[in-house]
Amino acid sequence: MIQQQYIENRLSAHELLERIRPLGHAILLDSSQPTSVSGRFDIISAAPDRLIRFTQKGLSVVDGDQKPLDADTLLPFDYLDQCLAELGTIQPNDETPFCGGLIGIFGYDLGRALETLPEQAEADIDFPWLLVGRYLWAIVIDHQLGTCRLVSHPMTDPALLAEVTYLISATQLASTEAFQLVSPFNSNLSASDYRDALQRINDYIHAGDCYQINFAQRFKATYQGDPWHAYKALRQVAPTPFAAFMDMPEGAILSLSPERFLLSEADGRVETRPIKGTRPRGNTPERDKQLAQELSDSAKDRAENLMIVDLLRNDLSRSCKPGSIEVPALFSIEHYPNVHHMVSVVCGQLKESTSPLELLRDAFPGGSITGAPKIRAMEIIDELEPQRRSIYCGSIGYISCCGRMDTSITIRTLLCQNDSIYCWAGGGIVADSNIEEEYQETFNKVNNLINCLQGLSKAQP
C-alpha cells in the first residue's frame, strides 16, 4: 500500500519545488492551474533511486548515490519496463495519478533507437536521448479536490521521507542568482535558408515522398543565473496544461507545452490530443474572435490536422484493441495567451497484453511533430534541419506503477545547458502552405517566451 500524508501549509507547486530542489534531480510536472485551460494535477519530486540515461553510446544507470548499476539490456524501453516491474502494481483507492514510478524526458532523437535514420543533421547538443528517473515518492497537488499530499511507495527510504517532510516545512531557502540573457536569440536558419528548405519540402510533397513535414528552426542565446527564475517568469506569460521543469546535471529543461502526447489510464483507456493549426491572438476582442474563426474555417488547417489524426489513429492501433479507436473531438479550437490552436482528440483501449510503455514506444515520436508518413518525414527533417532536435518534439511525463501514464509533446520547450539556452519553433508544411505565413508562424509561437526572457534581462540592474 502507498503511504499518503496530507500537507496543510498550502504551498504552491513552485514553492514546494524550491524546498525539495536541494535533494537533486528535481522535477515538476505543472498543470499551470488556476490559469490554464485544463489540467488537474501537479507532481513534484526529487532524489530518484535510479537515474537512467540513454545516448548514442548506449544505456547507463546509476543509483541514488550516483553509483553505476549493471543494465541487463542495452534497449532503453526494456530496462524501463524492468524498473517499473520491480515496484509491483499498486491500485490506489482514489484517483491518485502517481504512486511511484518513472518521470523524465524522452528526447526526439530517441527515435534513432527505434528506427534507422540518416545522420546528416549536426549533433551539437550533448544531452541524453532519454533521461528518466525512478521516483519512489512525490508531492501531488489535486486542483479539483483542493488537496496536497506526500505520496510514497513502500520501497521509499524512511530517512529520505523524513528529510522531505523537513524541507517542506523549511522557512529559510537558499537564494540563487537572477536569470538574464547575455546575448540575444539568433536562429540557426536565415530567412532565405528557411525559404529554400520549404521549397525543397514542396518538391518532396509533389514528388509523392510525403504529405506533410513538420519543419522547425532553432533559436540560441547565452545566459547567466538560475534557469528556475526563467521558468517561473515564462509560466506567468504561458500557463499551459503540460508545463514542466527538470533540474538535471546535464542541464535544465523549461517546458511550456500545451500538447498532450499520450494519456493511458489504469483501465487501459488511451488518449492523444494532437495540435495542428495556429493563429496569433488579436489585439482587440473583435480581431481575436476573427482570427479564431479564421482558423476554425481554414480548409488547409483542417486538412493538415486530419492528416495527423489519421497518422495517430494508425499509431494507436498498434497497441489498442481492434475497433476501439475513436475521434470524439475533431478540429476544436483552444485559446492560449499568444495563439489559438486547432486540437483534435483520438482515443482507444489498450490491448490486455500491452503496457503503457509499449504504447509510448510504438507511437514515439509523436506524429503531430514529424509529418506523414512518419519515417519518411523524419528522414527529410534530418536532411533539412541543420542540427538535431535534441529534447525538442520529444516527450516529458510519468509512468506510474498504478498503471497510469501521462506525457506531453515538448513544444514551447527550452533547454539551458553550459550557459547556452535553446528554444525551437516549427509548423506543419503541406502542399498549399504559404512560405511567408509559415515563417511568421514560428515566431508567433515563441515570441512571447523570447520577449519574456529579454524583459527579465532588461529588468536586471
What is the pLDDT at residue 8?
85
**In this structure, which amino acid lies at residue 123?**
A
- What residues does each domain of the chain span? 3-459
pLDDT of 459 above 70? no
The residue-averaged pLDDT of 291-302 equals: 94
What is the pLDDT at residue 221?
97
Q: Which of 18, 220, 271, 276 is catalytic?
A: 276
What is the pLDDT at residue 71?
80
Report the Cα–Cα distance between both ends of the chain, in Å, rounded. Answer: 52
Contact 117, 379 (CB under 8 A): yes
* Nearest residue to 396 (alpha-carbon basis) of 99, 14, 110: 110
The residue-averaged pLDDT of 130-150 equals: 96
The residue-averaged pLDDT of 27-48 equals: 91
Q: Is 276 a catalytic residue?
A: yes
Residue 437 CA to its chain's centroid (Å): 26
> In the structure, what pLDDT confidence band is assigned to residue 139 with cuts at 50, 70 and 90?
very high
> In the structure, what pLDDT confidence band is assigned to residue 458 with cuts at 50, 70 and 90?
low
Q: Which of 259, 271, 379, 438 is catalytic?
A: 259
Query: Residue 422: what are its φ and ψ, rounded to 5°?
Result: -120, 145
The C-alpha cell at 261 is 502526447
Q: How confident is the model over 364-397, as pLDDT tens digits?
A: 999 999 999 999 999 999 999 999 999 999 999 9
pTM over 0.85: yes
3-459, CATH topology level: Anthranilate synthase (3.60.120)
Contact 165, 82 (CB under 8 A): no
Cα–Cα dist 37/258, whole Å: 9
Omega within 30 of 0 (cis) for the link into 365? yes
Higher pLDDT, 188 or 461: 188
Residues in the chain: 461
Measured CA to CA in angstroms, residue 208 lies from 118, 211, 264, 341, 428 at distances of 20, 7, 35, 28, 16
Locus of grid cell 508518413:
373
Q: Is 265 a catalytic residue?
A: no
The C-alpha cell at 73 is 539490456
Q: How confident is the model over 329-356, as pLDDT tens digits?
A: 999 999 988 889 999 999 999 999 999 9
Q: How confident is the model over 122-136, as pLDDT tens digits?
A: 999 999 999 999 999
Taking the CA atoms of the chain, what radius of gyration do you get in angstroms?
Answer: 21
